[in-house]
Amino acid sequence: MSFDSLGLSKPLLEAVAEQGYDTPSAIQAKAIPVILEGKDIMAAAQTGTGKTAGFTLPLLEILSKGPKARANQVRALVLTPTRELAAQVGESVATYGKNLPLSSTVVFGGVKINPQMQKLRRGADVLVATPGRLLDLYQQNAFRFQQLEVIVFDEADRMLDMGFIHDIRKILALLPKQRQTLMFSATFSNEIRTLAKSLVKDPVEISVTPRNAAAKTVEQWIVPVDKSKKSGLLTQLIKQNDWQQVLVFSRTKHGANRLAKHLEQRNISAAAIHGNKSQGARTKALANFKSGEVRVLVATDIAARGLDIDQLPQVVNFDLPNVSEDYVHRIGRTGRAGATGQAISLVCADEVADLSGIERLTGALLERKEVAGFEPSVVLPPTRLDGRPIKPKKPKKPRNPRVEHQDGQRSSENARGNKPVGKNRRHTGGTAKSKRFAKPASSTSGNK
């Protein structure tokens, strides 16, 4: 099958050919014709399967046949869970839509909001956005949805994991009922299916990979090691194997910073990206990693979501994730588009429960390879597959409301929406104890 047979117009086919693609991936071959027919879809596709082009190409084809977006109007909305993924989707829209007279805009938090407002006032055929910033802009009358034709939920599972469910419901209430809805997710858990009931109408379900399975092109193995020796082991693996481009996952922001510093001190160029880094710093670190200026990128799960790096050969789990599904997302960074890759996990005895959960989810025991000089003093216990069905997890509670300011910085209020009491502010009501021992007020009214 070729792209020519999918019903795409010449301008799009030329843009695809310029990127060096001649044969659609499985998700593209299945999704593009269905989307062009105007049907809602629920597509299960792992990262690296070409799903972004799977919805970008038919979306652009549909929009090219209708009237352009008027001022303050949006014709197609793509919702993503993170800034990095929003930027990546926006890049895809610009790349494939270069030969079409369509406009697109990308908006997310962490940067100034005024330039985004100015762009939206001119209208956008395609708006790629994170939920929080989208609502901020809507509340400031930057755009409206009267012209909306299509909405895309990209990585819907991650949006639920990150607590965006209330934001998603608010956004849905703003959209016209007559619309086409495209939902893409790595997996379709019970929570996702419950959400889908309020999103899609008679959807066509598409799945191109087994649920929670890793790509067959990824070689997976673990190295048992003491926690205190992980940094030294990673350094040796990089130098001994001459790895030139390595994505490393850390469970915490501070851990990512420490590891990047450790590698730099040993003449291995490294950078860390996580939620505490500014958007500018994250963008620069990613660009340097892609160009080869930085050899190792150390990332937390949220910051790494949506990273699109061609031919990434190695992914290392410095820490195993607490959530088993995140393991599949992590290693999906390598072995993409048919290329081979390695996924190596450094596992200490304390992480045996996380390891068991991952093996249960993926349905396979991971091969163990000890490295000479780094044999663990505390033996990693053996694991065995648990064949019991996995109970669906409860969706994460949404975070406290956050207010987006003009400078892009967020300020949190407490759960009731009240400002926290500062050092120089007094409680007006006092506590029960202070009331109990307060001096009685003098009687000046004559009442007894």
Distance in angstroms (rounded) separating the CA atoms of residues 366 and 342: 13
* pLDDT at residue 336, as a whole number: 59
The confidence band for 276, taking pLDDT boundaries of 50, 70 and 90, is confident
Q: How many residues does the chain have?
A: 448
For 212-243, the pLDDT digits (tens) are: 555 567 889 999 999 999 999 999 999 999 99
Rank 109-118, 185-194, 319-328, 380-389 by mean pLDDT and report only the highest: 109-118
Check whether 372 has a pLDDT greater than 60: yes
pLDDT at 214: 59
445 or 8, greater pLDDT: 8
Mean pLDDT of 341-370: 92
- Comparison of pLDDT for 446 and 310, the residue scoring more: 310
The pair of structure tokens assigned to 247 is 């994505």
Q: List the single range of 24-28, 320-324, 413-417 with lowest mean pLDDT.
A: 413-417
Residues whose CB is less than 8 angstroms from the CB of residue 67 and which lie 6 or more positions away in sequence, other chains included: none
pLDDT of residue 393: 52
Average pLDDT over residues 307-336: 80
Q: Which position has the higher pLDDT, 402 or 362?
A: 362
Closest of 336, 267, 335, 256 to residue 298, by C-alpha = 256
Q: Which of 23-32, 179-188, 225-234, 322-331 has the highest mean pLDDT?
A: 225-234
pLDDT digits (tens, 9 = 90+) for 52-101: 999 999 999 999 999 999 999 999 999 999 888 898 899 999 999 999 99
Round the average pLDDT of the chain to a whole number and report it.
Answer: 83
Cβ atoms of 236 and 356 within 8 Å: the answer is no
* Range from 3-12, 13-22, 55-64, 434-443 carrying the lowest mean pLDDT: 434-443
User: Residue 193 has what pLDDT?
Assistant: 82
pLDDT at 124 over 90: yes
Angstrom distance (rounded) from CA 329 to CA 214:
9
Q: Which one is predicted more confidently, 260 or 209?
A: 260
Do the Cβ atoms of 130 and 80 come closer than 8 Å? Answer: yes
Q: In this predicted structure, what is the pLDDT of residue 307?
A: 67
Which positions ≥6 away from 176 have C-beta within 8 Å? 145, 146, 148
Structure confidence at residue 425 (pLDDT): 41
Q: What band does 445 get if pLDDT is binned at 50, 70 and 90?
A: very low
Band (pLDDT 50/70/90 cuts) for residue 139 is very high
**Residue 32 to residue 1: CA distance in whole angstroms:** 13
Place of tokens 């799903």: 51
In terms of average pLDDT, the best of 95-109, 279-293, 416-430 is 95-109
Q: How far is 432 from 440, CA to CA, in rounded Å?
A: 15
Give dist(CA 108, CA 113) in Å, integer. 9
Parallel, antiparallel, or unpaired for β 180-185 and 41-44?
A: parallel
Contact yes or no for 120/87 (Cβ under 8 A): no
350: pLDDT strictly greater than 50: yes
d(Cα 414, Cα 400) in Å, to the nearest integer? 7
Q: Is residue 35 within 8 Å of 62, Cβ to Cβ?
A: yes
List C-alpha distances in Å: 214 to 88, 95, 110, 410. Answer: 22, 28, 32, 36
Confidence tier at 426 by pLDDT (50, 70, 90): very low
More confidently predicted of 128 and 88: 128
- Report the chain's terminal Cα–Cα distance, integer Å: 95
Q: What pLDDT sits at residue 134? A: 96
Residue 323 pLDDT class (50, 70, 90 cuts): confident
Q: 119 versus 439: which is more confidently predicted?
A: 119
**CA 158 vs CA 37, 47, 138, 167, 302: distances in Å:** 27, 12, 23, 14, 9
Higher pLDDT, 395 or 242: 242
What pLDDT score does 310 carry?
64
Give the per-residue pLDDT at 163. Answer: 81
Whether residue 390 has pLDDT greater than 80: no
- Residue 328, C-beta contacts closer than 8 angstroms, at least 6 positions apart: 46, 186, 187, 212, 213, 214, 361, 362
Question: Which range scores top for mean pLDDT: 31-35, 110-114, 303-307?
Answer: 31-35
pTM of model > 0.75: no
